[in-house]
Structure formats: structure tokens, C-alpha cells
Structure 1
Amino acid sequence: MKKIISYFLVFGAILSSCNTDLDIPNPNRPTTGQFWQTATDAQQGVNAVYSTLHRGPIVLWQWFYYTVRSDEAFSRSPDVAIPNNMDRFLITDFNFGRTNDVYGNNYIGIFRANQVLANVPDIEMDETLKARILAEAKFFRGFFYYNLASLFGNVPLIVEPSLPTDLPPNATRAEIWAQAARDLTEAAEALPLRYSGNDVGRVTKGAAYALLAKVYMQQRNWDAARVPLEWLVTGEGNGVYDLVPDYRHNFLATTENNIESVFEWQFATNESEFTDNDVQTPNHNYGSPLAQFIAPANVGFSDAEMHRWVVEEFNEQTANGQRDPRVAASFFFDFMDERGPANTMIYGVTFTERYGANDNRVWLRKFSNDAEPGRGAEGFRSANNYRFIRYADVLLMYAEVLNELGRTAEAYPHVDRVRQRVGLRSLTQARPGLNQAAFRQQIEHERVTELAGEGHRWNDLDRWGYFESQDKLNILIQRDPAFNTFRLDRHRLLPLPQRDVDINPNLVQNPNYSS
């Protein structure tokens, strides 16, 4: 059952200031001093942290920056600002609203988590529940800093509830990674293995360990990443998680929170969002707009498309001579049905009828709702959960870490599990005896075919050094012409919001962005 959808009064100013404090207290408005009194307040406070995942900049535009900005996808949106800023690296407006919104909404999440961490310790309540709530808040603070480090790098580090008069300086990217690792380590110590009933969907010990491994891997600290991954793969987590037999079940609303899900964002339809006369109420949207924005033309906005090379990466047949089933599970394209566009169905209509027989466009299917009977289009309130970290991702991460530690032979079985789930021959059979460099290339291939479009590609490229040399950048240019305008000295990170830089004398813009 989908829960964690409450919105409460845990808001505050993030990173703005002025020389004169013009705020006058409103005697009719609740204050934080009045709110943080009971166990219910603590629970509602942490629910507000979860609800940050429902905010459009987090679930929608952040995905664009992780995926469309990578070589997997691109945009032909009629809103030219989207492809220019999120695809082609033609960033001239350092106050571009969607960039600023991603930045600001991650800080909203941090502010909410900081409120929980500052106020819940003083509440008289069950100590076990208190410890869990504090761990949930630490997890999310680590998660929001993971996003900020990944996309913006040198951002302010704020670990106390902020005030409008605060003028925080930049921290280094390494300091932000370190804070995320600290939060996730502490969260993992107190989070439970599983939940039941209405609590299903809350973050777990396994989610904290998986995200902690990602934090360490982005710093290429392979030995540190090995420890949480060992817990997940060869330790206690091996009894908690596994691969579901049917790959497609990772993306259907009917098979959510399954055994493969490690960190899953909960979405739902809020039946009380509108009154009978269709007047919007204060009850918020608990669904996701992502499917609407990336669905195929005539079904959704088609603001993001996948490059054809991603489909062509699935060039290996299964052990019994069939096509890799992940292709049709992952993408809408002319040969979803191997017989061709006249037999390929896109939301109940053939590809040929919708787009003609010679259209080679590709759209991501993973977040779609086309499996719902009678569904002819997408909408802004998708209840289909976002499986942000799956166990297959964890297995591939562990294989990558073992290979980087020079333990390539030990890495094979974990890739084998991922491949054999979809009927491919094990890597042990298909390509035995790879050296470290060749195995690294194989991991790159395996992560494309298993995880395409799921929001990890930008960090994969960053970790693999594609933004650090012209030779590696040239490989990206061959796949995605947008990288012709990528500058090695500039575009690895997004610009900080110029509005924040302008009003905060302690904040310095990211390298080689000038106003």
C-alpha cells in the first residue's frame, strides 16, 4: 500500500538573504516551536521529507539532467530552453528556472531533513521509533546531497535548519560527498531491513547501503564501496533482495515494491485532490508527471527521446536464440514487435498508424502506464512507482567494484545473475577470462542494457572518466552529437543559480561559468 504522502508545515528559506530583516511574525501562523511536540509531529515531519520526491523538479527535471544530458537521450522539445540547457550544453542563462528548481528543491528536502534532525531528539516518544525517524531523515539528507554533488558539485553544506539571513559558502564536492557518506552510514545503522503494512515503501538499511556505495563509487573509492555492497550481495542483504523472474515487473504499477526493489519512490493517485465540482483542494498531487513528459508523440509530450544506438546495444541473442526481452520492456520503437511497425502496438494503436512505417524514433517505456487496459495517453499524475535503485544495479555495481580492485574473476558471477535472468548466456560462458580493462568495457555494456533510462547514466559516465579527456569525449560525440559543444573545463557540473551567487558574497560560481 502506498503511503508516505503527507505534506506538513516543514518549509523555510533556503539560500536567500537581504541586509535588512523585514520579516514580521504572523501571530496566527503556527511556528516550529509549537509543532515539534509529539510522536505524531515527528512522523509527520519525516513524511514531509519523503514528499519532496513528489515535487516536479525532483522527479521530472532532475531525471532530465541525469538522462537527457547524457549520451542515452536527447530532446526535440518545442520549448527550446529544454534541449539547450538539458541536452546541447548551450547554457547561457545561469538562472534557468528548471536548473534552479532542481537545486532549490534538493535544498528544500535538506531543510526538511534538518528540521527533523534538530527537533525530534527532544520529543518524548518511543525510542525505537525515534531512532528510525532520525535515520530516515539522515538517509534523505544524504540522498539530496548525493544529487547536489552529482549535478552541481561545489554547493553550500548546511546541516542545521537554515535562516533567511544565512550566507553559507561553497563546500568542495569532496566535502559534499563526505557528508552524504556520513549521513548514509549513520542511517544504515538504525534503519530496519524491511517494513510491513502501511510502512512498506519507507527507506531501509539496504537502501542506505546501496546509495552509500554509489557515493563512494563516484569518488572511485572502490574499497570503501566494497563494504556496503558485500552486505547487500554476500551478507545479510542477500536474503532480503533478489532479481524478479520477469524483467518487465520492475516497471509495472501492479508489481511495485517487489523483491528487486532497493530504493523505490512511492507514487499514488490522491482521490481527495479534487472536490466533486473539480475545484482543487489543498490536498497535493502524489503522482509523477515524468511519464507525461517522456511518453511518445501523440501519447504524451515527447520532450525526451532515446538515441537509437541504445537499442542497437541489445545485439546479443538469448541462449535459445531469441531477442533480449529487455528491448521491448524498455523502449517504444518501430520493432518492439519483431515483425515490425505494422504489428508494434503503441498505446493500442500500431506504430505504422501513429508514425508511419519508416520512423526510427525511440522513447523510454520504463515509466509508462501503457499496460493499463484501455490506456490511450499519459497524464500528470502517474501512480507508477520509480524504482530508483534495483538489485540488478547493486549486482553490477559490486561486479564493477571487484574488477576495479583487481578481483575480476570474482566479479563474473554477479554479472552472470543479471544476464541469466533475461535468458542470456552467462558472461562466464560468453566471454571467459577477460582482463580488467576488457571487463570494465563489458560492465559499461551491461549497465546500458540493464539500466537504460533509469537515471544513472550521467554518473556512470562521470565515474568512468568521460568528462576528463578529449579521447573519451570523442566517443560520446559519436553516440550523441550534442557533446560537440561540451567543454571539459566547464560542463561536468551545472552552474549554481546566479541569483544565489549575486546575493551571497560567500558563494562562488562554478568554474568557467561567467555572468
Structure 2
Amino acid sequence: MKNMRKIYFLAAALIMTSCDKDFLEKQPLNVVTTDNFYKTSDDAIRAVNAAYKPLMYNGLGQFGLDRFGNYLAGDAVSSGDNADWAQVENLSVTADNGAIRSTWNAAYQGILRANLVLEKVPGITMDATLKKRVLAEASFLRAIYYHYLILLFGDVPLITRQQVNPSEFLVPRNAKEEVYQQIIKDLQSAEAGLPLSYGAADLGRVTQGAAKGFLAKVYLYRKQWPEAAAKAKEVVDSKVYSLFDRYFDNFELATENGKESIFEVQYASFLGGLGNQTNNYDAPRGSGFTLDGGYGYGSPTKFFVNSFAPNDPRLGYSIFRNGDVFQGITYSSSTSPTGYSPRKYVVGKGANIGKSDDPKNYILMRYADLLLIYAEALNESGKTTEAADPINIIHARKDVNIAPIQTGLTQDQMRTAIKQERNFELGLEGHRWFDLVRWGDAATYLKSIGKTNFRDGISELLPIPQAERDINPKLTQNKGY
């Protein structure tokens, strides 16, 4: 994946400079345009690489999906001086919030780049198998950009082709159901065209397992339980993925893109704009854990900490507690307003890792998540006894080693157990808010922990960024904003 990372920046620059066309003058021969770029297989690969890159941006892979998932759910507090994220934490987001605009812009940049690939690459004379793979990668990327847009904003404009004329950018929002149909279609196309795995040079590209896994997740969100269970089972039966013996290997640099990884956003140090800032954002403020001192953002709350059973080792892998030692430095609870700090994406000083040079990838899906999708889909399909098996695989991880789930549970009891297990296994990874909303539990849970700003039927979605509505008056606003 290192080679792919190195050409992210160049590929994105080529694509972005090729999107403007002067219809009045001839372009100089050395200027890259959409007419002269898409000619070779190398061009196709560069173009799809550029479609991956917005996943790395603020608003998505860093300072984005994880913050929305953790702050909105009450699992963490922003604990910094960023007013935009304080609004998110307090459920008081306004339409001029910079964080939501970053997410909107990053997702649509990715969508537009994927659209270019899907429109231009079919006309390139190149190896048929490679062409099929590139088109499948673009289909997958477009699908997950839309998936996250729907989770955050609900109805959004569905754009599936290159826009040239200014009037084509002024489009209304499409119904969520219509967008979901496109997501499913794209993921099915991706599934058909992607390989099970790659060699070292392409490690980190989307695989068939990732397409199946996200398709299972989309079916789950749509309450298509049998379809979700069947698709998750295909991933399990492929035997491509398995759990690490050590839980924290999911978050070690040395084991990135490992056997438990289904899809993760790729970052790298020292490559000009390809590093992740989460290491410094999450490191305790003034702790010395990082070269830049740490910002201390994302402090876990007592509600998150107290939800764990005393003997569950996953809590210790998720947070720093007073007296914990990290790379020779003792953590003090005084550095955090809650007494705790997030641990999973803190990698320390490493090889002179600075503020924007963290090479730690951001995991969008790992095998444990897929197993819990499988368990939930089985239970909701009425197969409650079978639903225990995927959970027990997670409990049997060597350094977790929790007792198997109790036998004889009712469907409702199993449902509760699965909800708890998602929180324990995937804690502070950005899933919690989206789970609470899809379960219909957000209002009850948030009010129970004192988040009284939650407005039922309104707060489940974020506002459409006002700057986008100023540009495009056809964009309506979500209710209550």
C-alpha cells in the first residue's frame, strides 16, 4: 500500500486540475484535462487512487466520522477549544458549523472523482481484468461516501455522472431510499469485480470482502435481516478474515491491514499531506506522549467507562486511566476533564511523528464488526440461538477471554446483549451514534445520561451546511434547523 499512498497526492492533483475546461481557447499540449488524461491503464489507476484520497480528509477519516460517532453518543467530550466540535458534543449544531461542511465537501469530492472513473475508464484500452477492478473500486468508493452522507444528513443529492455546465450543480436532494438503491447497486457491482486480496504493493485497496461487508451493513441499516445475515455469512465462509489473538493488534502500526482488517483508510508519514493528525489530537494535553504535546481531544466519559464489566480487558485497551504507563510516560488523569483519554489511535512519538505525520490508518470495518452484524441479523431473523456463535468467537479472543454468552436468551435479551457487545468491542471507533440512531435508542439513552439538548425527530440528523445552500438554493434544510 506504500506505493499507492505515494501517488495519492499526485493523482488527486491531476484529477482536480483536469475538471475545468476552457471552451473558448485551445488547451496547451502539456495541460492535463479530462479529454487527454484518461488514455492508459496508469491513468486509470491514478484516477481511482484519487477517489480514495478524500477518505483521508478532515471530516471523514480524521477528525470526522469517529468524532461524530463518539461525541454525539455521549461516549466522549470534545475537551478542546474547537467550537465546531463543541456544538457536535452538545447537540447544538448549526448550519454554519465548519465540521459538517468539511464532511459534506470531502464526501462529494470523493463521489465526483469516482464518477469520473466510472465515466472515463470504460473508454480506455487496457487489460480487461484490471479495468474491471478499477471500475469496481470506484463503485465501492462512491457507495460508502453516500452511505456516510445518508447517516449524517439523510436525503442528499444523488450525483452519478460528471457535471460540466454550472446549471448541473444546482440539484435538489434525493430521497434516502433512492440513494440507498444506488448504494446497493454500486456495492453489488463492486462485489462482482473485486479480488479477495492483493499483493503487498496494493495492500489496502478495497476487496471483495469489503464490498460484501458494507453490503451486509447497509442491509442491516435497512432492516433487511435475511439479506444482511446471508451477506455477512459469505464473508465468514470465505475464511479470508479472522480475529487477532491480541485485541490491540487492531491499532498497532506493525499490524495494519492485517487479518482482522476488512477496510481501513490509509495514511503515511513524510509524504506531504498523507499523514493522520489523530495521534496528536487524541494524545493527552501536555503529556509528552507526542512531539507536539497532544491536544487532549475526545476524552471518554464516565458513562462509557462505567458501561463495561470490571473484568472486560477491552476497556483498558480503549482508554488511558490514571497511572497507566505509555512509552515510559505515566498518564495523569489531571490532563483530561473526565479523567480519561482515548487510547486506540495514539501511537506516540514513533519515528519523529509530528502533528500531521501520524501513519496510523483509520479502520472503517474490521472482522469483529462484521461478526456482530452477522449476530444481529441472525437474531432479528428469529435465529436467536445461532446469533450467539459470532459473539462467542469475539469473547474467545485469546487476550479477551470472556465467558461465552448465556444460553437460552430470548430474542429481546439477545438484542440487548448485541447492543452492549457493539459498545464494548467497537468502543470509541465511531460506531456508537449511528447504532443508537438506527436502533431508535438515541432519545432514551441520551436523555438518561443528561444530554437534554437532544430533540427527538430532529437531532438524529445534522443540518445541511448553509454554505452549500447559499451556492445551491435547491437544497432544502433538515427539519428543526
TM-score, length of structure 1 as denominator length: 0.85
Residue 437 (structure 1) aligned with residue 417 (structure 2): no
CA contact (8 A) 1:267 1:286 kept: yes
Aligned to 1:315: 309
User: What residue ranges of structure 1 are gaps of 5+ in the alignment?
Assistant: 15-20, 274-283, 318-323, 335-340, 468-472
Deviates more, 1:200-209 or 1:383-392: 383-392
Q: Deviations over 1:364-385 (max 9, x none)?
A: 1111103848x8x862221012
Aligned to 2:390: 414
CA distance in 2, matches of 1:497, 1:162: 21
* Paired amino acid for 2:157: P
Among 30, 33, 54, the residue aligned to 1:31: 33
Q: 1:371 to 1:293 in 2, by over 3 A?
A: closer
CA distance in 2, matches of 1:245, 1:371: 26
* Paired amino acid for 2:444: N
Q: Deviations over 1:417-467 (max 9, x none)?
A: 101114434434xx2111011111111111111100112112111111124
CA contact (8 A) 1:217 1:463 kept: no
Q: Deviations over 1:151-170 (max 9, x none)?
A: 01111000001233311111
Q: How does 1:155-234 map to 2 (within 5 A)?
A: 155-163=156-164, 164-166=166-168, 167-233=170-236
Q: 1:241 to 1:22 in 2, by over 3 A?
A: closer
* Paired amino acid for 1:309: F
Quote the offset at 1:247 in angstroms. 0.6
CA distance in 2, matches of 1:13, 1:442: 51
CA contact (8 A) 2:269 2:359 kept: yes
Quote the offset at 1:259 in angstroms. 0.7
Aligned to 2:295: 301
* Paired amino acid for 2:307: E
Among 452, 462, 474, the residue aligned to 1:494: 462
CA distance in 2, matches of 1:122, 1:99: 36
Residue 427 (structure 1) aligned with residue 404 (structure 2): yes
Q: How does 1:115-194 map to 2 (within 5 A)?
A: 115-163=116-164, 164-166=166-168, 167-194=170-197
Q: 1:25 to 1:99 in 2, by over 3 A?
A: farther
CA distance in 1, matches of 2:24, 2:444: 56
CA distance in 2, matches of 1:150, 1:410: 29
CA contact (8 A) 1:264 1:389 kept: yes
* Paired amino acid for 1:10: I
* Paired amino acid for 2:478: N
Q: Which secondary structure state, in structure 2, belongs to the residue aligned with residue 10 of structure 1? A: helix
Q: Which secondary structure state, in structure 1, belongs to the residue aligned with residue 459 of structure 2? A: coil
Quote the offset at 1:58 in angstroms. 1.9
Among 342, 345, 354, the residue aligned to 1:367: 345
Q: 1:371 to 1:413 in 2, by over 3 A?
A: farther
CA distance in 2, matches of 1:305, 1:34: 49
Quote the offset at 1:499 in angstroms. 2.5
CA distance in 1, matches of 2:415, 2:24: 59
Aligned to 2:104: 103
Q: How does 1:391-410 map to 2 (within 5 A)?
A: 391-410=367-386
Residue 448 (structure 1) aligned with residue 423 (structure 2): yes
4+ residue segments displaced more than 6 Å: 21-24
* Paired amino acid for 2:56: H
CA distance in 1, matches of 2:179, 2:321: 40
* Paired amino acid for 1:195: Y
Q: 1:410 to 1:316 in 2, by over 3 A?
A: farther
Q: Which secondary structure state, in structure 2, belongs to the residue aligned with residue 60 of structure 1? A: coil
Deviates more, 1:304-313 or 1:364-373: 364-373
Quote the offset at 1:2 in angstroms. 2.6
Q: 1:445 to 1:268 in 2, by over 3 A?
A: same
Q: Deviations over 1:203-247 (max 9, x none)?
A: 1000011111111111222122122111012x2x2x111111111
Identity among equivalent positions (%) equals: 35
| Coordinate RMSD, CA, aligned | 2.3
* Paired amino acid for 1:424: N
Quote the offset at 1:102 in angstroms. 0.5
CA distance in 2, matches of 1:432, 1:25: 74
CA distance in 1, matches of 2:43, 2:379: 47
Q: Deviations over 1:319-366 (max 9, x none)?
A: xxxxx33222211122xxxxxx2xx214532234x738x985222111
User: What residue ranges of structure 2 are gaps of 5+ in the alignment?
Assistant: 287-292
* Paired amino acid for 1:194: S
Among 317, 333, 349, the residue aligned to 2:329: 349
Aligned to 2:448: 478
Among 74, 77, 88, the residue aligned to 1:74: 77
CA distance in 1, matches of 2:37, 2:377: 45
* Paired amino acid for 1:304: G
* Paired amino acid for 1:40: D
Among 50, 53, 67, the residue aligned to 1:51: 53
CA contact (8 A) 1:267 1:383 kept: yes
Among 468, 474, 477, the residue aligned to 1:506: 474
**When the two structures are aligned, how many residues end up with a matched partner?**
463
Quote the offset at 1:33 in angstroms. 0.2
CA contact (8 A) 1:3 1:201 kept: no
Quote the offset at 1:13 in angstroms. 11
* Paired amino acid for 1:303: Y
Q: Deviations over 1:27-76 (max 9, x none)?
A: 34421101011111001001101222222222223221222222211212
Q: 1:437 to 1:367 in 2, by over 3 A?
A: same
Among 308, 313, 321, the residue aligned to 1:325: 313
